[in-house]
Amino acid sequence: MADNNNNNHNSITSPLLTSDHLILTVDSDTNSVSTTDTCPISNPFIALGCKDGGELTIPAAITVDPFDNYKAGIEGLYEWVKTIVCLPIALIRLVIFGLCLAIGYVATKLALYGWKDKENPMPKWRCRIMWVTRISARFILFSFGYHWIKRKGRPAPRDVAPIIVSNHVSYIEPIFYFYELFPTIVASESHDSIPFVGTIIRAMQVIYVNRFSQSSRKQAVREIKRRASCDRFPRVLLFPEGTTTNGRNLISFQLGAFIPGYPIQPIIVRYPHVHFDQSWGNVSLGQLMFRMFTQFHNFFEVEYLPVIPPLDDKETAVHFRKRASHAIATALNTVQTGHSYGDIMLHMKAQEAKQENPSRYMVEMAKVESLYHISSLEAVDFLDKFLAMNPDSSGCVQYRDFVSVLRLKACPLSEKMFSFIDVEKCGKITFRQFLYGSAHVMKQPGFHQACEAAFAECGGAVKGYIVEEELRDFILSAIPSWNEDEVHDLFVLFDVDKDGRIYKDEFLSCLRRNPLIVAIFIPQPQQHKESYGNGVLEIL
């Protein structure tokens, strides 16, 4: 009889409530919430128009670090002995380097003297003077230990391939290409201010670009196309990765070289080594130069690949880029990751914060930008917010720190927000989850409309701003469990200029920087029945 009762789902010992009834025990002293029965926590952002339930999916993190230089330090008895033996040689090389740089600088200043027309190609007589600088560049390579350079293939004529692209491993390639091809290069605006080198770069009729300005990038593409179409200009050289890597992997390519639609010749560089990795990566320039000076010889290989023409006028730049990157990756026998310069920025931010392993904060920014249109600067802001949550040694953040930094109250709604990005349901979140979750919320079709509506409902529609009392009335009417001090903390988060008023720009900007807290201002699908006298909170 007892066995029959145990097997009967309708017995008196079976729960009378179905599994969609959740009973939470609330500790009034700590505001923590613990579940006594479990059920899936609903998506608090469903009202924004999430499709298929809006559940967050995060691509698996890649374990490859394409920027890591793992052999830059002096390790082992052989390397120490070699370094000591080469110290006198290093001093001689340093003198040669300085002398050649000075000669090249003087020759470049002479070639540029009186030349004001930067829109047209450099006159031939000035280019002939630049040969002095180019020869000096070869001696600079010699001073760094590149006594001979192995070449495979030949550069295509300029009229066949007006654009060349190359993988980027060290500062050595620009020096080599300057000597070998004297091309026009596309470089960051910051390069212009480098002592001595900035002047030489200007002589290459550089196309400057601000990687964080869309208008600057568009202007650079127009200039690439203009110069590639004119035979009087040198060929155009681009490093489509936009930064240096360790040479063992490729990272995502920018589109600038492929939008003009001209034939491209890919070039690959290799730095064969045993003891000393010559890639720039995450190594300081001074350390890298010292290690190069104290080597007997550094190996450098250049391979010119076959020219890749566009298939037709209808081929997209994205497809053209894919073919070129595949050709380079195949020749290097490596893989291409979704990293970009944005990951370098994230790594540097984590390093400044003295995180134990800064590499874990890289998220393959090219993929994030493609999926969610989040810029690198926005991603760095999200990392800044995440680091304020005091991540542990494994790079994870606890719930209590999550709600504290976002100025939230520990309540069922905050639990839902945390659980939404805690896709592994382990009670901790990583920066990757925090970034993807925040970006996912911003991408929802109703996010901007919800932000506008929230500002209006808080009283901003009439006056154009919100005061603290209006925000308090709205929050307490929607979530009665909050108190005035908690609402004040939230108000301070919005009131950036501390004038006691939240204007519309401040309100919308804050929600974009902290998109997860939009859940406070949107209707939730569940109805809450709160009971505080007996310490039990029931959610139906």
Domain 77-332 falls under CATH 3.40.1130: yes
**pTM for this structure?**
0.82
Calpha distance 65→364 (Å, rounded): 10
How confident is the model at residue 531, as a pLDDT?
Answer: 39
When pLDDT is cut at 50, 70 and 90, the band that residue 175 belongs to is: very high
Query: What is the spatial distance between Cα 159 and Cα 162, in angstroms, rounded to a whole number?
Result: 6
CB atoms within 10 A of CB 16: 7
Mean pLDDT over residues 511-524, rounded? 89
The answer to whether the CB of 380 falls within 8 A of the CB of 212 is no
CA dihedral 438, 443, 448, 449 (to 10 degrees): -120
- The pLDDT of residue 536 is above 80: no
Q: What is the dihedral of CA 139, 103, 110, 228, to 10 degrees?
A: 20
- Per-residue confidence at 41, pLDDT binned at 50, 70, 90? low
Instruction: Provide the pLDDT confidence category of residue 52 given band limits of 50, 70 and 90.
Output: low
In the chain, the percentage of residues whose pLDDT exceeds 90 is 56
Mean pLDDT of 34-43: 49
pLDDT at 135 over 90: yes
pLDDT score of 181: 94
Q: Are the C-beta atoms of residues 186 and 220 closer than 8 Å to each other?
A: yes
Q: Which residue has the higher pLDDT, 96 or 73?
A: 96
Element spanning 428, H or E: strand 428-430
- Give dist(CA 178, CA 204) in Å, integer: 8
The Cα 103–Cα 137 span in angstroms is 10
Average pLDDT over residues 227-241: 93
Summarize pLDDT for 214-223 with one digit per residue, the tens.
888 899 999 9
- The mean pLDDT value for 303-330 works out to 93
Q: Where are the beta strands (DSSP E) in 264-364?
A: 264-270, 301-304
Range with the poorest average pLDDT among 1-5, 103-107, 108-112, 286-290:
1-5
CATH architecture of 341-443: Orthogonal Bundle (1.10)
| Mean of pLDDT values over 174-195 | 87
Mean pLDDT for 92-111 is 95
Give the model's confidence band at 397: pLDDT under 50 very low, under 70 low, under 90 confident, else very high. Answer: very high
For residue 330, what pLDDT band results from cuts at 50, 70 and 90? Answer: very high
Average pLDDT value for residue range 68-95: 90
Decide: 349 and 386 in contact? Cβ < 8 Å: no
CA 513 to chain centre: 16
In the predicted model, is pLDDT for residue 78 greater than 80?
A: yes
Quote the DSSP letter at residue 259: S
Position of tokens 């993190």? 61
Q: Which two tokens stand for residue 263?
A: 């034939």
Mean pLDDT over residues 87-94, rounded?
95
Q: Is the pLDDT higher at 212 or at 437?
A: 437
In this prediction, residue 429 carries a pLDDT of 94
- Do the domains 77-332 and 341-443 sit in the same CATH topology, yes or no? no
| Mean model confidence pLDDT for the chain | 85
Domain range summary for the chain, segments of one domain joined by +: 77-332, 341-443, 446-521
Which range (87-91, 105-109, 166-170, 186-190) has the least confidence? 186-190
Q: What are the C-alpha distances in Å from 434 to residues 32, 364, 499, 509, 517? A: 21, 14, 30, 18, 13
**DSSP assignment letter at 122:** P
Q: What was the pLDDT predicted at 73?
A: 78
The one-letter code for the residue type at 18 is T
Q: Given this model, what pLDDT does residue 53 score?
A: 58
Report residue 87 as tokens. Answer: 């110290």
Whole-number pLDDT of residue 51: 65
What is the per-residue pLDDT for 526? 52
Query: Chain-centre distance of CA 260, in angstroms?
Result: 25
Q: Out of 36-50, 192-206, 262-276, pick the least confident.
A: 36-50
Q: What is the average per-residue pLDDT within 322-346?
A: 93
Residues linked to residue 163 through DSSP beta bridges, in sequence order? 236, 264
> Is a pLDDT exceeding 90 seen at residue 157?
yes
The larger pLDDT score, comparing residue 401 to residue 6, is at 401
**What CATH number belongs to 446-521?**
1.10.238.10
